[in-house]
Amino acid sequence: MVAGARAASPEPDGALTVGILDLQGDVAQHAAALAELGYRVRLVKRPADLDGVAGLVLPGGESTTLSMLLESTGLFDAVSAATAAGLPVLGTCAGLVLVAREVLDGRPDQRVFGLVDIVVRRNGYGRQQQSFEAEVPFGSGEAPPLPVVFIRAPLVVSAADGVDVLAALEGVPVLVRQGSVLACSFHPELTADRRIHAMFAELCESYAVETQSVGPGRPSGARWLISG
């Protein structure tokens, strides 16, 4: 947890607050997805915004730009400290690049958090013109396939043994988890399927219980509440 930050806790009505990095990318779409699941959203623009959140979404965008903005705002070190203390993270598209251990075809000075033991290639699925949609088996394969949207998506080149591969496209991992970090090369916020955000929400609930000894705080009804 960042210095001076209080533990994750529910708001008075019982809803946990989840942060979304608001420097670039699909912020509004992620906020709407979390709202459908009944969570408050805080837009994270500076280190103090991490105070009390139960998880952090690293949205899609341009990974090198996000890396530079994280540095210039002081958020890189703050996020690193928070995740080292167990703060759950959902990284999507560019967010997958940011949580990877190693990035191919990135800038030499690009910094990443190294939270998941994977090697990724930036824009490994092609440029904007090669964007596509597909469906992939999810989990054990008994559930309905997962709709996926790839836009200038990073490609997972390799994943270490400690990384759980939760979904793959033609044998290539597209959804992975390691510890409290969930990451995917696609954009789950651009479909109506909320299973990825629900998985992330469960990690946030567990983190809140561990840090504050509180029970699950999911309210009834979907709302988008921006807390300051």
Secondary structure E strands in the chain: 17-21, 40-44, 56-58, 89-92, 100-104, 116-121, 132-136, 146-150, 155-159, 164-169, 172-178, 181-184
Q: What is the Cα–Cα distance from 36 to 136, expressed in whole angstroms?
A: 23
Q: Which of 11, 62, 71, 93 is labelled catalytic?
A: 93
The verdict on whether 204 is a catalytic residue reads: no
- At 94, give phi and psi (nearest 5°): -60, -30
H helices within the chain, ranges in order?
A: 27-36, 63-73, 75-84, 94-99, 195-212
Which amino acid does the sequence have at 216? Answer: P
Using DSSP, state whether 66 is helix, strand or coil.
helix
Tokens of 66: 């996000």
Residues 206 and 181: beta-carbon distance below 8 Å: no
Selected catalytic residue, list 30, 184, 187, 204: 187
Phi, psi dihedral angles at 208 (to 5 degrees): -60, -40
Among 71, 133, 170, 189, the active-site one is: 189
187 catalytic, yes or no? yes
Q: Say whether 189 is catalytic.
A: yes
Catalytic residues: 93, 187, 189
